[in-house]
Amino acid sequence: MTQRRIIDLLRHGQADERVTVQGWVRTKRELKDFSFVEVNDGSSLANLQVVLEPSLADYSAQLARLNTGASLQVSGVLVSSLGKNQRVELRAESLTVVGEADPATYPLQKKRHSFEFLRTIGHLRSRTNTLGAVMRVRNACARAIHQFFQERDFLWVHTPIITASDCEGAGELFTVSSLNFHQTVNQLPLTTDKTLDFTQDFFGKQAYLTVSGQLEAEVMALALQNVYTFGPTFRAENSNTSRHLAEFWMVEPEMAFCDLEGDQNLAEEFLKFIFKFVLEACPEDMQFFNDRIDNTVLATAENIINHEFARITYTEAIALLEKADRSFEYPVAWGVDLQSEHERYLAEEVFKRPMIVTDYPAQIKAFYMRLNEDGKTVAAMDILAPKIGEIIGGSQREERLEILLQRMAIQGINPEDLWWYLDLRRYGSVPHAGFGLGFERVVQFMTGMANIRDVIPFPRTPLSVEF
């Protein structure tokens, strides 16, 4: 009698095998001569059908306790199933109800629940078909990311979560403090200006939650060549949309001795790899998303896997948009940033496949992106995919000290705050490049889930920090 996961039984179980299974009741059907209980253990979307016969010890009493949500352990013999939905089912020989779930109060009764409602029971929602599938796909996607980089000898580096650098996103930063806020504000350490005196706080200065590990990843790449981060990042952006979280996970590879072309090549290979990996690792879950959530997710994944990405410059993109036979809400002109409508037009109507747009105007991009020979564009890239929009943003970094200092001056960044970042250009500087991928965005696109709050176990958004 061996203990087995349900996905293993459904895929490989043989008739007459004796097994023990543990899990939770999804539904039961009481018939005249026997009953069916559908058991799920989180290993797969599909349930194991368990057949209970009246000869089972204490049959009626046990059956009464086997309500949706109850936990059980059941041992018995696998038999070929007569039902069309499964290959095998389990004929119970002994059964223990481990923990009950009162049907009068358990909120996950068998009926459709809205995702809004499920968010209010974040401690139970992973027990539903959809959220369970999301969590398995999310894990497979994370696994693919590590496998991709580790196979290529990239080191996973843990860049800091708490940072004193606020140069990148002032105004959207969370402050981190260990001051005792149970005190009145006048008992807190204050400056002569009557602001909080962070010199008396834990870190001796105001500290923040990171918005990106890139600058520190550059440090590591300039010692170890190829590295990647995969960790939480934060935005205190007060926007209640279906695509924003205050806390989300980001993947940021950084490669020394790499230019924008190498960056594009790696990013394209990377995206193809993770979509392919997840399709192979979670076929039932992906089919479920295609059937129940968004009937384009499989086609979108295949489109990414099977097409060479188109590559055009921003200047070429603007030309294509200017001659489009349609009007856009946001007018197009060289120098403006591409809006979502522009990106979708290019990817979905012009190229009909994933594309990489490179060499954006310097004035709309960050200070660290490498200035091109033309003196007005930078070696940036965005990857746009049909149905998805922007999925990756990256760049070659400015490795020339003098030009970097000029770009910082133009953007009003104090070089003293980034002395260490500048040192990387003083000592053994090399061309280097990297990109960033919002992990939840990818899981959202992969699954077709409409709201990003439903692809992370415990979403953090304005006014929402439950569980």
Q: How far is the CB of 438 from a second copy (least distance, A)?
A: 13
Q: How far is the CB of 385 from a second copy (least distance, A)?
A: 24
At residue 204, the 3 state secondary structure works out as coil
Q: Which stretch binds a second copy (CB under 8 A): 104-112, 288-296, 319-327, 368-376?
A: 104-112
Element (H, E) at 252: strand 247-256
Q: How far is the CB of 191 from a second copy (least distance, A)?
A: 9
Among 225, 315, 411, 451, binds a second copy (CB under 8 A): 225
Q: Which is nearer to a second copy, 63 or 209 (CB)?
A: 209
Residue 427, interface with a second copy (CB under 8 A)? yes
Residues 288-317 that bind a second copy (CB under 8 A): none
Residues of 178-217 as b/e, b for ≥16 C-beta within 10 angstroms? eeeeeeeeeeeeeeeeeebebeebeeeebbbbbbbbbbbb
Among 22, 313, 411, 451, binds a second copy (CB under 8 A): 22
Residue 403, interface with a second copy (CB under 8 A)? no
Among 102, 308, 329, 373, binds a second copy (CB under 8 A): 102
Write the binding mask 356 to 395 for a second copy: x where contact by CB under 8 A, - elsewhere.
Answer: ----------------------------------------
Q: Which is nearer to a second copy, 209 or 446 (CB)?
A: 209
Would you state the structure tokens that stand for residue 110, as one six-digit string?
């068998």
Among 206, 313, 339, 406, binds a second copy (CB under 8 A): 206
CA 191, distance to chain mean position in Å, is: 41
Could you please report the per-residue DSSP string of 147-158?
A: HHHHHTTPEE--
Q: Which is nearer to a second copy, 305 or 401 (CB)?
A: 401
Angle (CA) 202-208-213 rounded to 5° is: 120
Q: Are 461 and 245 within 8 A, CB to CB?
A: yes
- Could you report how far apart the first and last alpha carbons of the chain are, in Å? 38
- Residue of 317, 298, 315, 397 whose CA lies nearest to 355: 317
Q: Which stretch binds a second copy (CB under 8 A): 64-72, 266-274, 288-296, 383-391?
A: 64-72
Q: Are 332 and 299 within 8 A, CB to CB?
A: no
Q: Which is nearer to a second copy, 238 or 295 (CB)?
A: 238
Partnered with residue 256 across adjacent β-strands are 432
Residues 119-178 that bind a second copy (CB under 8 A): 122-124, 126-127, 131-132, 135-136, 138-139, 142-143, 146, 150, 153, 155-164, 173-178
Residue 96, interface with a second copy (CB under 8 A)? no
Among 32, 84, 111, 194, binds a second copy (CB under 8 A): 194
Among 57, 114, 323, 467, binds a second copy (CB under 8 A): 467
Q: Are 372 and 423 within 8 A, CB to CB?
A: no
At residue 377, the 3 state secondary structure works out as strand
